[in-house]
């Protein structure tokens, strides 16, 4: 259910932005634009959530957790097994989605989803609790994640709708830096589904192309203004 809520929130934001773009660019045909956008959204959002749920279910069903006397390992479809020895563990964080095993190497972290069988998850948690103190997720972390989400949404809105060159430039740099950082983290991290990396790379490339297009449009508008004032 957390995945459904997360996917629904994300696609709702995307849908609202798409509707705003269509309405903004079609002031003379606003009712038709709104109806057309709603129809497309009504088809796109359920399909995207269904596809995401299907993929998420396939991943969860393929997850295998192996606990030895001095190690824990995880494997799943499309990802090689990641094994962490007991002496490598520096902390175990309990997040909303399950447990996250930390090491001194930030690229070596192992996630234990709480969507596993309840008895298996409890058994794994008890073993990890005997190895290290399980830390609850701090409230500041949740607040920080929410703040980053809202900043990204605001930056996307400014990037799309602003007619100021400087605001578009600043929002473009912020978005490219943010998604570029997330892509770099995914590239460095072990045990990440290659499709997740590809998805983030696609988002980054699309963002770069859109930023280039908007800056070219500003450049053309500036040249047109210079030409008109020089005549």
What is the distance between the alpha carbons of residues 189 and 200, in angstroms, rounded to a whole number?
14
Q: What are phi and psi of 138, to 5 degrees?
A: -70, 150
Most confident range, picked from 32-46, 53-67, 141-155, 167-181? 167-181
What is the distance between the alpha carbons of residues 80 and 103, in angstroms, rounded to a whole number?
18
pLDDT classification of 173: cutoffs 50, 70, 90: very high
- Three-state DSSP class for 201? helix
Task: Compute the half-sphere exposure of residue 128: CA atoms within 13 Å on the CB side of its CA.
Answer: 29
Q: Which one is predicted more confidently, 204 or 228?
A: 204
Q: Is the pLDDT of residue 128 over 90?
A: yes
Choose the weakest-confidence range: 52-61, 124-133, 155-164, 183-192.
Answer: 52-61
Burial of 21 (0-12, 13-18, 19+ CB in 10 A): middle
Do 77 and 54 share a structural domain?
Answer: no
Could you please report the per-residue DSSP string of 51-111?
Answer: HHHHHHHHHHHH-EEEE-SSEEEEEETTEEEEEEEGGGEEEEEEETTEEEEEESSTT--EE
Do 75 and 106 share a structural domain?
Answer: yes
**To the nearest whole number, what is the mean pLDDT of the chain?**
78
Do 188 and 170 share a structural domain?
Answer: yes
Contact 169, 215 (CB under 8 A): yes
Q: CATH no. for residue 74? A: 2.30.29
Q: Is the pLDDT of residue 188 over 60?
A: yes
Quick one: pLDDT at residue 11? 54
- Tens digit of pLDDT for each residue in 86-96? 999 999 999 88
- Is residue 222 one of the residues assigned to a domain? no
Do 105 and 50 share a structural domain?
Answer: no
Mean pLDDT, residues 213-217: 79
Could you please report the per-residue DSSP string of 104-141?
Answer: SSTT--EEEETTS-HHHHHHHHHHHHHHSPEEEPPHHH
Choose the weakest-confidence range: 2-6, 14-18, 51-55, 121-125.
Answer: 2-6
Contact 54, 41 (CB under 8 A): no
Nearest to 212 by CA among 182, 177, 176, 181: 176
State the greatest distance between any 2 C-alpha atoms of the chain, in Å, as a whole number.
Answer: 83
Do 153 and 119 share a structural domain?
Answer: no
Q: Is the pLDDT of residue 3 over 90?
A: no
Pairing of strands 89-95, 134-136: parallel
Q: Which one is predicted more confidently, 215 or 47?
A: 215
Quick one: pLDDT at residue 2? 46
> What residues make up the domain containing 48?
1-62
What is the distance between the alpha carbons of residues 87 and 68, in angstroms, rounded to a whole number?
13
Q: Is the pLDDT of residue 8 over 60?
A: no
Do 183 and 148 share a structural domain?
Answer: yes
Mean pLDDT, residues 120-148: 86
What is the distance between the alpha carbons of residues 150 and 168, in angstroms, rounded to a whole number?
17
Do 144 and 128 share a structural domain?
Answer: no
For the chain, how many structural domains are there in total? 3
Mean pLDDT, residues 154-168: 83
Specify the pTM: 0.65
Domain final position from 111, 136, 161: 136
Quick one: pLDDT at residue 124? 93
Most confident range, picked from 16-25, 190-199, 217-226? 190-199
């Amino acid at each position: 259910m957390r995945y459904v809520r997360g996917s629904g929130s994300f696609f709702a934001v995307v849908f609202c932005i798409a509707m705003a773009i269509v309405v903004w660019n079609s002031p003379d045909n606003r009712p038709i634009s709104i109806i057309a956008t709603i129809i497309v959204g009504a088809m796109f959002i359920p399909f995207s959530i269904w596809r995401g749920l299907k993929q998420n279910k396939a991943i969860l069903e393929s997850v295998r957790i192996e606990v030895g006397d001095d190690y824990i390992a995880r494997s799943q479809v499309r990802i090689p097994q990641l094994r962490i020895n007991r002496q490598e563990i520096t902390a175990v964080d309990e997040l909303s989605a399950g447990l996250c095993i930390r090491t001194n190497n930030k690229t070596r972290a192992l996630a234990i989803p709480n969507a596993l069988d309840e008895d298996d998850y409890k058994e794994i948690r008890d073993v990890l609790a005997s190895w290290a103190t399980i830390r609850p997720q701090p409230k500041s972390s949740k607040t920080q994640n929410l703040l980053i989400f809202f900043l990204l949404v605001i930056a996307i809105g400014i990037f799309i709708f602003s007619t100021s060159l400087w605001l578009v430039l600043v929002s473009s740099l912020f978005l490219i830096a943010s998604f570029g950082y997330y892509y770099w983290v995914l590239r460095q991290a072990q045990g990440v589904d290659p499709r997740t990396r590809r998805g983030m790379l696609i988002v980054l490339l699309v963002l770069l192309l859109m930023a280039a297009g908007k800056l070219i449009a500003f450049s053309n508008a500036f040249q047109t203004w210079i030409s008109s004032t020089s005549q």
